[in-house]
C-alpha cells in the first residue's frame, strides 16, 4: 500500500468512494468537477492499483487549512490507512507553512487519536465560512470542529548551493 498525490486517473474511484459515504450522511458529496479543480490538494492510498483511501487539503487562510473528503474504503478500514492519509495531509500543511489543520467531522475519536483538539466553530475566522453557504447543512451544521496545531516550517529544497 502506498500513499501518494492523486492524479486525474484516480478521480473516478475517489468520487465513487466519497459518494458511498455521502449517501450514508457521513460526508458531503463532491462533484467530479470539484475534484478535478482541487486535485492538487488530494492524496490517495493505493493498494494493488486500487484506490482504497483518499483525503484532500484545502487552504482556507494564512494559518489554516482544512482536511476534506477523508475516506477509507470499508474493506480497508482499521488498518492505519486513515492515519497515514491525515499524517500526509498534515505534512502538506507544514510544507506550506500553515500552522493549523482543521477538520469538520463526526469522527471525533479518530481525530482525537491523531492529536486533533476540539474547538468552538464560532472561534474560527469568518472568512472560512464562504464555502459553507453552499452546504445543505448551512443552517444546521452538526459537525464538530477539530484542529491540529503543526510546528509549521517551510520546506527547503536546496541549501548552501554554490552560485551558478
Ligand X SMILES: CC(C)(COP(=O)(O)OP(=O)(O)OC[C@H]1O[C@@H](n2cnc3c(N)ncnc32)[C@H](O)[C@@H]1OP(=O)(O)O)[C@@H](O)C(=O)NCCC(=O)NCCS
Minimum distance from CB of 144 to ligand X (Å)?
10
Number of residues that bind ligand X (CB under 6 A): 19
Taking the C-alpha atoms of residue 164 and residue 161, their distance in angstroms, rounded to an integer, is: 8
Taking the C-alpha atoms of residue 146 and residue 67, their distance in angstroms, rounded to an integer, is: 10
Minimum distance from CB of 163 to ligand X (Å)?
46
Phi, then psi, of 122 in degrees rounded to 5: -65, -20
Binding mask 18-57 for ligand X (x = CB under 6 A): ---x----xx------------------------------
* Out of 28, 43, 70, 101, the residue judged to bind ligand X by CB under 6 A: 70
C-alpha cell at 156: 527547503
User: Residue 148, interface with ligand X (CB under 6 A)?
Assistant: no
Nearer to ligand X, 11 or 17 (CB): 17
Taking the C-alpha atoms of residue 69 and residue 99, their distance in angstroms, rounded to an integer, is: 20
Amino acid at each position: 500500500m502506498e500513499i501518494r498525490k492523486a492524479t486525474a486517473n484516480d478521480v473516478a474511484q475517489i468520487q465513487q468512494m466519497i459518494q458511498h459515504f455521502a449517501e450514508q450522511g457521513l460526508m458531503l458529496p463532491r462533484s467530479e468537477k470539484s475534484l478535478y479543480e482541487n486535485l492538487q490538494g488530494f492524496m490517495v492510498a493505493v493498494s494493488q492499483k486500487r484506490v482504497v483511501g483518499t483525503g484532500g487539503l484545502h487552504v482556507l487562510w494564512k494559518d489554516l487549512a482544512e482536511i476534506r473528503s477523508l475516506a477509507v474504503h470499508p474493506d480497508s478500514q482499521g488498518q492505519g490507512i486513515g492515519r497515514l492519509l491525515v499524517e500526509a495531509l498534515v505534512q502538506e500543511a507544514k510544507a506550506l507553512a500553515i500552522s493549523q489543520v482543521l477538520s469538520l467531522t463526526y469522527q471525533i475519536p479518530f481525530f482525537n487519536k491523531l492529536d486533533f483538539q476540539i474547538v468552538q466553530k464560532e472561534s474560527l475566522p469568518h472568512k472560512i465560512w464562504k464555502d459553507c453557504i453552499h452546504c445543505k447543512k448551512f443552517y444546521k451544521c452538526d459537525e464538530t470542529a477539530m484542529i491540529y496545531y503543526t510546528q509549521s516550517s517551510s520546506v527547503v529544497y536546496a541549501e548552501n548551493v554554490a552560485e551558478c
